[in-house]
Amino acid sequence: MQGVIKSYDPGSGQGTLVADTDLSEYDLAGNALVGSLFRMLRQGQRVVFDLDGAGRATHLRLGSEVDMGTPGFDAEGTAIPDTG
């Protein structure tokens, strides 16, 4: 799933993110950043995530341009030249 960080407290590690698909809010699991490139999160940061058995966001990671659905990139994540 993809979403945006709504809030994050670096002291406690607690936070919330909003899914792109239906704007559902998910709390971060305690291990959400374990094994991740992230050390901190900022409000508005885009992430790709999974849900754990309790419905909390976990396994946060950066998405590729393809994962994020960024316009102007093909299925392999290569920029499509602007011919316009």
Burial 5-39 (b: 16+ CB within 10 A, else e): beebeeeeeebebebeeeeeebebbeebbeebebe
**Predicted pLDDT at 35:** 81
How far, in Å, CA of 29 to CA of 19, rounded?
15
What are the tens digits of pLDDT across the range 3-23? 999 999 988 989 999 999 899
**Predicted pLDDT at 60:** 92
Query: What's phi and psi for 7, nearest 5 deg?
Result: -155, 155
**Is 57 part of any domain?**
yes
Assign residue 40 the CATH number of its domain: 2.40.50
What are the tens digits of pLDDT across the range 39-82? 889 999 999 999 999 999 999 988 654 555 555 555 555 556 77
**Predicted pLDDT at 64:** 57
How many structural domains are present in the chain? 1
**Is 34 part of any domain?**
yes
Instruction: Please check the confidence at residue 34 and state whether its pLDDT lies above 90.
Output: no
Q: Which residues contact 83 (CB under 8 A, 6 or more apart)?
A: none
**Is 72 part of any domain?**
no
**Is 38 part of any domain?**
yes
How far, in Å, CA of 23 to CA of 31, rounded?
22
